[in-house]
Amino acid sequence: MDTRTELPFEIRDYLRLDRMPHFLCPGCGHGIALRALLNAVHELGIDRDDLAVVSGIGCSGRLSAYIDANTVHATHGRPLAFATGLKLARPDLHVVVITGDGDCLAIGGNHLIHACRRNLDLTCLMLNNEVYGMTGGQASPTTAAARYTTTTPLGNHEPVFDACKLAEGAGASFVGREVTLQAPALKNLIREAIAHPGFAFVEVMSDCTEIYGRKNELGSSPEMVLRQKHDVRPESYGNAVERPFRPGPWRTGVLAKNERAEFGAAYRAHCRAHHGGGPGDV
């Protein structure tokens, strides 16, 4: 356990300060997500040497470079594949994947499905800002209908992908969603996801204020963040009503949770029963 957990959370203790200033645009929700993750790690008492963060390509993929822990910057769409190998080889590590809506659901969609199916003890944070923000502002699988991007100059005509329903349907044993507006709730959700003994998928509803917000005239950064209040629907709200921003309204919090065999432990037991050893046995 990291002895710093006895002290109040100080984000600088978990950052590579020589990598500052960061590249995120003013108002980008990814910074809020990064802080929530590191705060959750602090509260769980996870030592930085026992933490591995794997990320892909995109704005979300750059976040791992700022974390002072074991980090891997993988190829586009492949962070879950890299993380799978890492967790099987080093089951002692807490492995967290940071990915984006394009990285995770488009080129990486197949890896997501099978990570959910296997139920290996990984935590996947999908930062959903509805666009390929770093690589030109193209439409992603979560771009809202009628929104303008560089590849949808007449407005997006494709339906939105519900990542949480996909993850639950594919077998993820923990599924959750939260907006960056609710930073304390997001931190608590990520903490619960990391502590869960199986594959945990958390969709973080973030905002791309420059590439996506400007093109769609969604207002200033504070206006975009505050608009998230209209994008969520706790169960107590009753029937959904139409909202002008993202399609939904979205349910937030823990959406699905069940206990089933964790893949790594089950696989090692299977190998020991048949061959006397298994991946990660040292």
- What single-letter DSSP state applies at residue 227? H
Strands 200-205 and 253-257: unpaired
Cβ contacts of 218-221, under 8 Å, gap ≥ 24? 218/245, 220/27, 221/26, 221/27
Strands 131-132 and 138-139: antiparallel
Map 162-196 to HEC letters.
CHHHHHHHHCCCEEEEEECCCHHHHHHHHHHHHHC
pLDDT of res. 245: 43
Q: What is the pTM of this model?
A: 0.90
Q: What is the pLDDT along the chain (282 residues), one digit of tens a residue?
A: 555 667 899 999 999 999 899 989 988 999 999 999 999 999 999 999 999 999 999 999 999 999 999 999 999 989 999 999 999 999 999 999 999 999 999 999 999 999 999 999 999 999 999 999 988 899 999 999 999 999 999 999 999 889 999 999 999 999 999 999 999 999 999 999 999 999 999 999 999 999 999 999 999 888 898 888 777 654 433 333 333 445 557 889 999 999 999 999 998 999 888 876 666 564
Domain map (residue ranges) of the chain = 3-235+242-275
Torsion angle of the four alpha carbons 16, 10, 222, 237, in this order, in degrees rounded to the nearest 10: 120
Q: 162-172: string of b/e by CB count within 10 Å (b at 16+)?
A: bbbebbbebbb
pLDDT of res. 226: 87
For residue 40, the surrounding DSSP H or E stretch is helix 30-44
Q: Which fold has domain 3-235+242-275?
A: Rossmann fold (3.40.50)
The neighbour count for residue 44, using CB atoms within 10 Å, is: 17
pLDDT of res. 236: 34
